[in-house]
């Protein structure tokens, strides 16, 4: 499997966010996207997953399911954790597994254990801290298997232990042939990732 992007350009609000971007990412590889605030890191991820319109260029996922869009084969972890406060921790994950088109056989408990939230499965999500909310969002990556992970500042609000668990999950995903694009300002546990800086130096 390979993700290819060629000559990408994005304009928002009459302003050029980025132009002429290109990269290729093969199964088992990670690409760290860096740059100043406002350089277009988030816009690039949102463009790949189809949330922002591409002004120019082509994005293809070779070796994936030909009948499925890139968005249907990707997990996008953005700045918003998208959690329903009235549902329990476990119910939130069940909701997302169903929404993301899971097989119905997802092991929600195992996914919660992977992010150290299994003991809080019955707690209303409204009582979660910011770090716990982030970990619940990350649990979606584990509960429903998708080859492409698009991660926007994934370590936000995570303590050192949670950052290490995320690093382990990312390495496991890569060893299984997954692909990761991550926007970040600093290290996130992807030591072997290539780096692509966008925007001015």
The pTM score is 0.94
- Note the pLDDT of residue 199: 79
Number of domains in the chain: 1
Q: Write down the residue that tokens 């995570």 correspond to.
A: 158
In 3-state terms, the chain is what percent helix, strand and coil (to 5)?
A: 30, 25, 40
The pLDDT value recorded for residue 41 is 94
Q: Kindly give the pairing relationship between strand 56-62 and strand 30-34.
A: unpaired
Q: Which residues in the chain land under pLDDT 70?
A: 103-106, 201
For residue 95, give its domain range. Answer: 2-197
pLDDT of residue 175: 97
The predicted structure's pLDDT at residue 6: 97
Q: Given this model, what pLDDT does residue 105 score?
A: 57
Q: Which residue has the tokens 């970990």?
A: 135
Model pLDDT, residue 148: 98
User: Residue 187 has what pLDDT?
Assistant: 84
Nearest to 23 by CA among 200, 201, 198, 199: 198
d(CA 60, CA 12): 22
Question: Which residues contact residue 195 at a Cβ distance below 8 angstroms, ignoring those fewer than 6 apart?
Answer: 31, 32, 33, 34
Question: Which DSSP string do the residues of 67-81 spell out, in sequence order?
Answer: TS-SGGGEEEE-SS-
- CATH of residue 14's domain is 3.40.50.300
State residue 151's pLDDT score: 98
- Rounded CA separation 108/139 (Å): 8
User: Residue 74 and residue 147: Cα distance in Å, rounded?
Assistant: 6
Name which of 184, 162, 180 is nearest 172 in CA terms.
180
* DSSP label of 142: H
């Amino acid at each position: 499997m390979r993700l290819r992007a060629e000559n990408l350009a994005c304009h928002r609000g009459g302003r050029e966010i980025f132009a002429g971007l290109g990269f290729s990412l093969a199964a088992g590889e990670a690409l760290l996207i860096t740059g100043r605030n406002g350089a277009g890191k988030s816009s690039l991820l949102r463009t790949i997953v189809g949330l922002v319109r591409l002004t120019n260029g082509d994005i293809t996922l070779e070796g994936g399911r030909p009948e499925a869009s890139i968005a249907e084969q990707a997990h996008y972890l953005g700045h918003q954790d998208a959690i329903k406060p009235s549902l329990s921790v476990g119910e939130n994950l069940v909701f997302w597994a169903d929404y993301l088109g899971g097989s119905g056989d997802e092991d929600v408990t195992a996914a919660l254990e992977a992010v150290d939230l299994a003991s809080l499965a019955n707690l209303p999500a409204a009582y979660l801290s910011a770090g716990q909310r982030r970990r619940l969002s990350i649990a979606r990556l584990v509960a429903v298997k998708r080859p492409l992970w698009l991660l926007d500042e994934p370590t936000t609000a995570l303590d050192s232990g949670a950052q290490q668990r995320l690093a382990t999950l990312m390495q496991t995903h890569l060893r299984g042939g997954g692909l990761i694009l991550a926007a970040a300002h600093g290290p996130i546990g992807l030591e072997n990732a290539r780096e692509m800086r966008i925007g001015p130096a």
